[in-house]
A and B are shown apart, each in its own frame.
Chain A
Amino acid sequence: MTALASTAENANATVESPGRLVIRRLLRHRLGVVGLAILAAIVFAAIFAPILVPFAPDDVLVGEPHSPPSATFWFGTDEIGRDVLSRTIYGARVSIQIVVFALAAAIVVGSAIGLASGYAGGVWDAVTMRIMDGLLAFPLLVLALAIIAVLGPDLLNAMIAIAVTKTPGFARLVRGEVVRLRRIEYVRAAEAAGASDIRIVLRHVWPNIMGNVVVYGSLSGSQALINESALSFLGLGVQPPTPSWGYMVATGMQFWQSWWMSFFPGLAIFLAVLAFNVVGDALRDALDSRLE
């Protein structure tokens, strides 16, 4: 009965263009819009950093070292007189780059594993899912640290480490959905009609999972960002002099009197993580209400 009802729902939703419906619902979610605006601003800052910054991020002595925030230096200057605002804007580049590439890799690999596992079942399913369970038992940051310990600290390895830690989550999610969807009539109908496995997965199963993957992706974005900044805070992510938010906070900790050195980059991380979280929540609500 429920299966029939949801099949009918899906048919209706297709008529009303579910994508537009979701976007409309998303835009009605006030916090979600704020989150989207923050994310857009960060991405904008990352792309147009060279035009936006008042000073080159690596130029030393653009002002007196340790100058507090002022009209010229909105976020103050650091210990060698670099502009903290310019470095914070450039920091967005590194963070967004790592989060986007790591998540993209995790989504592609995780979803592929999940689809294959859920669809093939049997031994392949049991083995891959036990591997995923094993990886999920590691705290994210601890697994990332173990990977960095082997590969060595730099930007690419931070990306790899974060991608590996996020992959099992996507695999589990997608696999669960596949197993659920396979029992639903329209997929069984497609099977009965003789559609190939690839066609069923791509045409009937995946489109119905994508929404959940997007929501989970957005919520994972915040975790990826927190772990990326934690790695760079520990000195195990992007290496200086490339400006990164986490490392800037760590440097600021050596100069407590210049509180602005660690305050503003930390604020940037906080806002970005908050934005990912509220957008994820809003997306979930927007997709959920479609089923009401």
Chain B
Amino acid sequence: MIRYLGSRLLQMVPVVFVVTLVIFLLTQMLPGDPTVTILGEHSTPEQRAQARVEYGLDAPAPVQYLRWLGRTATGDLGRSLRSRERVIDKLAERVPVTLQLTGLSILVAVAIGMPAGIAAARWRGTWIDTVSSIAALSGMAVPYFWMGVLLILLFAQELRWLPPSGYVAFAKDPVQNLRLMVLPSLTIGLAFAGLIMRQTRGAMLEVLSQDYVRTARAKGLGEFAVMFKHALRNALIPVVTVIGLQIGALLGGAVVTETVFSLPGLGRMVVEGIFTRDFPVIQGAVIFIVLCVLAVNLATDIVYRFVDPRAQA
């Protein structure tokens, strides 16, 4: 296990290197002189030349990259060009919003997708299977922003049950926070439920055809015990894996969903950064998102290996 962990971590090194290099190169490709951005339009050439030395911009690109990597590793992501706020502080403010949104969305997706997948597998070929399969297929085809619009139209504009958008911190007003988070979580959760449903259905069908399930039935176990004690436990593995591997897609979905519902999360931070051409902010948020994805993928692999003895061979 420890050897596996070691080799898995070692494999991450080149990926992290490439990821950081891509982000660094993108900043290098930015049009315009960075010293103009720092000093303003009216700076003299001498001032700019001095700033160039001061900020290390005169060093060769590989040196600049290594310096930047060193700073990033210690959490120094620079400052926003607009507000002069430290990017790391901004992240600390935004991350909880996105985490809550992603967490609640997974909850919604599992709560809907798993029972639907189990039912579809149990009653394979019946109308239950057909209806949930079509619903899943549709759910996966709805773009997040349109799902958000439909939910707002129905629950906020027509029925007036929930507020259409906005954000209040959980610590400040838990009830209002959850009311505001219902629609965004449903937006991502409903779409993601389709994927979970299909995954659960496939895994259950495979498990249900196994000998040990037949044995369980043959020895007279009730249907409930067969489904939940024997089948579901083993079908869970691929479902958990798909959640882990889709974390990137979920965070991508958060970018759009946060815009629809005006949530001050990471995704909104990236989009705002693009509109205000605030590159340190974009860079910080993107690095954070990608490192999150890598960490969750790694954790999924490790958990998978831990729970599935077959993967250890």
B154 CB → nearest A CB, Å: 10
A250 is an interface residue with CB less than 8 A from chain B:
yes
Per-residue A-contact encoding for B240-264, CB less than 8 Å = 1, 0 else? 0000000011011101100110000
B227 is an interface residue with CB less than 8 A from chain A:
no
Give the chain A neighbours of B251 by CB distance below 8 A. 139, 142
Per-residue B-contact encoding for A100-127, CB less than 8 Å = 1, 0 else? 0000000000000000000000000000
Per-residue A-contact encoding for B145-177, CB less than 8 Å = 1, 0 else? 110011011000100000010000000000000
Give the chain A neighbours of B232 by CB distance below 8 A. none
B142 is an interface residue with CB less than 8 A from chain A:
yes
A274 is an interface residue with CB less than 8 A from chain B:
yes
A139-B289, A145-B271 given; A253·B260 CB < 8 A = yes
Per-residue A-contact encoding for B290-312, CB less than 8 Å = 1, 0 else? 10011001000000000000000
Per-residue A-contact encoding for B21-34, CB less than 8 Å = 1, 0 else? 11100110111000
Q: What's the dominant secondary structure at chain A's contact region?
A: helix
Most buried by B among A140, A145, A222, A235: A145
**Per a CB cutoff under 8 Å, which of A137, A141, A235, A274 touches B290?**
A137
Q: Which of A217-267 contact B (CB under 8 A)?
A: 222, 226, 229-230, 233-236, 246, 249-250, 252-253, 256-257, 259, 262-263, 266-267
A149 is an interface residue with CB less than 8 A from chain B:
yes
B137 is an interface residue with CB less than 8 A from chain A:
yes
Q: Which residue of A lies closest to B247 (CB)?
A: A139
B270 is an interface residue with CB less than 8 A from chain A:
yes
Q: Which of A21-73 contact B (CB under 8 A)?
A: none
B140 is an interface residue with CB less than 8 A from chain A:
yes
Most buried by B among A134, A236, A246, A266: A134
Q: Which of A121-168 contact B (CB under 8 A)?
A: 130-131, 133-135, 137-142, 145-150, 153
B86 CB → nearest A CB, Å: 20
**Per a CB cutoff under 8 Å, which of B14, B143, B153, B253 touches A273?**
B143
A249-B149, A270-B141, A273-B141 given; A133·B23 CB < 8 A = no
Give the chain B neighbours of A178 by CB distance below 8 A. none
CA distance A108 to B7 in the complex (A): 33
Give the chain A neighbours of B27 by CB distance below 8 A. 150
A182 CB → nearest B CB, Å: 23
* Cβ-defined contact, A145 with B149, below 8 A: no
A133-B15, A146-B26, A149-B273 given; A233·B289 CB < 8 A = no
A78 CB → nearest B CB, Å: 15
Give the chain B neighbours of A138 by CB distance below 8 A. 19, 22, 248, 286, 290, 293
B282 is an interface residue with CB less than 8 A from chain A:
yes
* Cβ-defined contact, B138 with A149, below 8 A: no
CA distance A136 to B164 in the complex (A): 34
* Cβ-defined contact, A135 with B143, below 8 A: no
Give the chain A neighbours of B29 by CB distance below 8 A. 150
CA distance A131 to B20 in the complex (A): 11
**Per a CB cutoff under 8 Å, which of A131, A137, A234, A257 touches B256?**
A234
A84 is an interface residue with CB less than 8 A from chain B:
no
B205 CB → nearest A CB, Å: 16
A139-B293, A142-B286, A269-B146 given; A130·B153 CB < 8 A = no
B144 is an interface residue with CB less than 8 A from chain A:
yes
**Per a CB cutoff under 8 Å, which of B31, B270, B297 touches A145?**
B270
* Cβ-defined contact, A134 with B143, below 8 A: no
How many interface contacts (CB-CB < 8 Å) are there between A and B? 142
* Cβ-defined contact, B149 with A262, below 8 A: yes
**Per a CB cutoff under 8 Å, which of B18, B248, B274 touches A236?**
B274
CA distance A140 to B255 in the complex (A): 11
CA distance A269 to B22 in the complex (A): 31
A273-B143, A277-B137 given; A266·B274 CB < 8 A = no
* Cβ-defined contact, A150 with B137, below 8 A: no
* Cβ-defined contact, B22 with A141, below 8 A: no
**Per a CB cutoff under 8 Å, which of B145, B149, B275, B286 touches A230?**
B145
A138-B19, A139-B289, A149-B279 given; A266·B140 CB < 8 A = no
A118 CB → nearest B CB, Å: 18
* Cβ-defined contact, B252 with A134, below 8 A: no
Q: Which residue of B lies closest to A133 (CB)?
A: B15
**Per a CB cutoff under 8 Å, which of B14, B26, B277 touches A147?**
B26
A139-B248, A233-B145, A274-B138 given; A134·B17 CB < 8 A = yes
Q: Which of B2-24 contact A (CB under 8 A)?
A: 14-15, 17-19, 21-23
* Cβ-defined contact, A146 with B143, below 8 A: no
Q: List 29 A-B contacts (CB under 8 A).
A: A131-B18, A134-B15, A134-B17, A137-B19, A138-B286, A139-B249, A140-B252, A141-B253, A142-B248, A142-B251, A142-B270, A142-B286, A146-B23, A149-B279, A153-B274, A233-B143, A234-B255, A234-B271, A235-B275, A236-B271, A250-B145, A253-B149, A262-B149, A263-B150, A266-B143, A266-B146, A270-B143, A274-B137, A274-B138
Lowest 4 CB-CB distances: which A-B pairs, in order?
A134-B18, A266-B146, A139-B252, A141-B252
